């Protein structure tokens, strides 16, 4: 397997984990910090914690799979 394929597989696994966690959340959804801490990915360099989980959420949002309530800042699965 190439390094590119490894990286893409890793991103796919992260996206699935975030999506499944949100899919199992109650109606209030989850905030980035809750998602990141639950999955052990709420990390980053000093002053930039939470970028990993937030980046994954942005990717899922781009794919129209999740959405964020701008008022509560909670994330939810988009039900089609």
More confident: 43 or 3: 3
Q: How confident is the model at residue 11 (pLDDT cuts 50, 70, 90)?
A: very high
Give φ, ψ of 8 to 5 degrees.
-65, -40
Q: Is 80 exceeded by the pLDDT of residue 46?
A: no
Write the pLDDT tens digit of every residue in 21-43.
999 999 999 999 999 999 999 98
Q: What is the pLDDT of residue 80?
A: 78
Q: Are 50 and 42 spatial neighbours (Cβ–Cβ below 8 Å)?
A: yes
Contacts within 8 Å (CB) and 24+ apart, 62-69: 65/19, 66/18, 66/19, 66/22, 69/29
Q: Is 90 exceeded by the pLDDT of residue 62?
A: yes
């Amino acid at each position: 397997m190439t390094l590119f394929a490894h990286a893409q597989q890793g991103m796919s696994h992260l996206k699935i984990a975030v999506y499944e966690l949100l899919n199992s959340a109650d109606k209030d959804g989850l905030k980035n910090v809750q998602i990141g801490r639950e999955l052990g990915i709420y990390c980053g360099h000093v002053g930039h914690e939470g970028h990993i989980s937030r980046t994954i959420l942005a990717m899922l949002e781009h794919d129209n799979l999740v959405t964020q309530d701008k008022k509560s800042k909670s994330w939810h699965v988009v039900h089609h």
